[in-house]
Amino acid sequence: MSLPIDEFLEAAELRKKDRLLAAEKVARSLGGDKATKPIIDSLDKIFEKDTPLHKSVVHAVVSESLRRENREKHVGR
């Protein structure tokens, strides 16, 4: 399983070549399973640094990373 931050960084690289795949990677990095219209429509804004949207998405990606890490620690207990 890819780490959320890795998926998000891959999406940043892909957004110029394949917007739909980039949007799907953003969705997965946020804990979703498919790209939604708001993600697709806002893809460029999501990667525009130093904006409230970018900061919010990065925060959500970090939170998702921590959630997955915590879940993996508790599996098998």
Q: How many domains does the chain have?
A: 1
Domain residues for the domain of 25 are: 4-74
Per-residue model confidence as pLDDT tens digits over 48-67:
999 999 999 999 999 999 99
- DSSP assignment letter at 36: -
Between 74 and 59, the more confident residue is 59
Which of 31, 33, 40, 34 shows the shortest CA–CA distance to 59? 31
Between 73 and 29, the more confident residue is 29
Q: Check residue 1 and give its pLDDT.
A: 63
* Mean pLDDT for all residues in the chain: 93
Between 33 and 74, the more confident residue is 33
Q: Which tokens in the block code for residue 65?
A: 């990373």
